[in-house]
Structures are given as structure tokens and as C-alpha cells.
Amino acid sequence: MAVPLFNLAPGLKVSRLCLGTMTFGEQNSLQQSFRLLDEAFDAGINFIDSAEMYPVPQRAETQGRSEEYVGLWIKERKIPRDRVVLATKVTGPSGQMTWIRGGPRCLDATNIMEAIGNSLLRMQTDYIDLYQIHWPDRYVPMFGETDYDPTRQFSSVPIEEQLDTLGKAVDAGKIRYIGLSNETPYGVMKFLQFAKDIPSYPKIVSLQNSYSLLCRSFDSGMAECCHHEGVSLLAYSPLAMGILSGEYAEGESRYNLSNSLIKAATEAYLDIAEKYALSPVSLAIAFVLKHPLVGSAVFGATKEWQLREVLRAFDVKLTPEITVEIEEVHRRAWVWRKSTSVSII
């Protein structure tokens, strides 16, 4: 079956699966990337997500290749531009990636406009459908951190300046819609508030945050914001960096499976998949897609068989019995985490 579409915004229909490209140019060669893009597109996936810092691990020698590969694919396959929804992201301040605008140091007007221009050139396109701030300009706990530390706050570019710049890019036809990534409820609401107060500022239409069987922090606060404000979740890492694929059940993953809570929860979800004769990948993706606020699940694949496992999620019917068992694992993990102060991914 063809991948169904979702109305992310007026005039913007995206497939409910989004192919992430952070491996293109590192783990995947140009030819391998083309094959993945071909198969995904043939299956009905029209939504492709990239970032100016990709591929990962990030290096000066490869920076921008993921966007370049996507642009080359569209050009060489002669795909009509309006049949593909291109999403990419501007790198937030890090101080480490000195080859990207010196760090980058901040997300001021100059940095944002330069990033947009470079992404357009790499992807050989006149416009970007969805342009996202990869992570906030200000300090926030992210990438595994959970607790906010007020002492780490530093001076940051005002949200108004970021929105003003993005609004000018929209007016110039360089981008169509804007979104956020790795944001907090506070950040989402501030971006929305300023967009309501000043008509020239664009409203965010999406939030790309992690969401999976092992990471459901979106439901604690953020879901309420997105529900009332009409912002859709683009759920990245639906397989929890590969852990939920089952490939790491007996060994090491990119996250430490020696964490007893993660290991126990993962094994329990894998047992559910086995009990109901489901692929662990398909079960994990189907769970994410069932969420009423998820517009699309952003997944990565380095091999074509992995892509096919993700596509099979649409064949999975999450019965009440399966859902009850999933929620019981989640409840046990939550109780254990509260009692031991252990954090899930």
C-alpha cells in the first residue's frame, strides 16, 4: 500500500513517513542513497528531511553532503519539484563545528540567511518547503539531558529576530513554512506568541522532537501545547537510535544498554512483538504513527531491507490487547524511573 499523506499545513501534504538523510554521505554512498530515495519515493514517501550539518558524525570534510545528495537525486531522476517535500535545518549554536560559520556562534539574521542560501545551493532548488531551527539558540537541556539548570543560561538571539528573518525568507519565496526541533514547551509557546502578536512573523507548523516507545517526554506538557496550537509533531528517532529494532538486544547500541531500565523496557517491547508475530521495527513505528498529534515519523535507514521493515508498519494493527501490554511496560518503566532517578533516553 502507498504511504498515506497528512496535511501538515495549508497546501503542504506530507507522507506519514519521512526519510531522514543524516547517513547520506557518511554511512551511505551516493549510489546507496539514491537506491534508498528511489524505493522510498516509489512507496509513496514524498517527505525528505535533512540538515546543513549532515551527515553525522559531523566533519568539515563531509558537511552538507546529505543535502547535496538529495539535490542530485531530484535532478538526475528528473523528479518534478512539487512532488517532493524538502525539509532541512539550520544548525544552532554549538561552538564546536567551526567549519559552519565559526561554530556556529548564534542564530542571528546573518547566520540564518547564509544557512538558507547555502542549503538552496546544495539542494539545487529555488525553495525549501519546511525550514527548521535544529535546536534553540538559547540554553535548553537536550540530547539526553532532562533537567533544566538556570545557571547555564547565556545571552541569546531574541526569538523576535529569528522570526523576523524567517518571515523575510518566506516573503522572498526561499522557504514556505517554518518549524522547530529539539524545543521545549516554553520555546514553542514563545514562537507562537510572537507570531500572533506580529502579523509579519510566520507561525510554526511543526515540531521535530524525539518520540518512541522508549522516549515519551513529548506527552508531558508539550503535547498539550501542540494540541491547542495546531502544531504537528514530526517524531524523530522512532526506533530510539536503533535500540527498538532488536539488533542490539544481545550487545551494545549507540546508547548504553547496560542501563538496566532501558534494557528491561526494550526486552519487554521485543517480547510483545514476538508474542504477536510482529517485526519490532514495525511495532515501534506503528506505535508512533498512532499518536493523534504525530504528522509524520522521521526515520533513517542505511539498507533497503530496513526501509521495508519501516513500511510494514502500516500493516500493523495495534489491537486493544497489544496497546494494554505496551502501556503496562511504560507504566512499570515510569514507576522504576521515579523510584531510582534513572533517565530513559
Residues annotated catalytic, as ranges: 54
Cell output for 81: 519539484
Side chain identity, residue 15:
S
Cell output for 65: 553532503
Asked if residues 295 and 204 have their Cβ atoms less than 8 Å apart, the reply is no
DSSP codes, 83-150: G-EEEEEEPPP-SSBTTTTTBT----HHHHHHHHHHHHHHHT-S-EEEEEESS-SS----TT--S--G
CA distance 13 to 229: 19
The DSSP call for residue 313 is G
Half-sphere exposure of 175 (CA within 13 A, CB side): 29
The DSSP call for residue 133 is E
CA distance 201 to 197: 8
CA distance 36 to 306: 10
Query: Residue 118: which of 61, 67, 163 has the closest Cα?
Result: 67
Beta strands per DSSP E along 30-164: 47-49, 85-90, 128-133
DSSP codes, 184-224: -HHHHHHHHHHHHH-TTSPPEEEEE-B-BTTB-GGGTTHHH
CA distance 70 to 135: 22
Asked if residues 63 and 35 have their Cβ atoms less than 8 Å apart, the reply is no
> Sign of torsion, CA 23 205 235 316?
negative
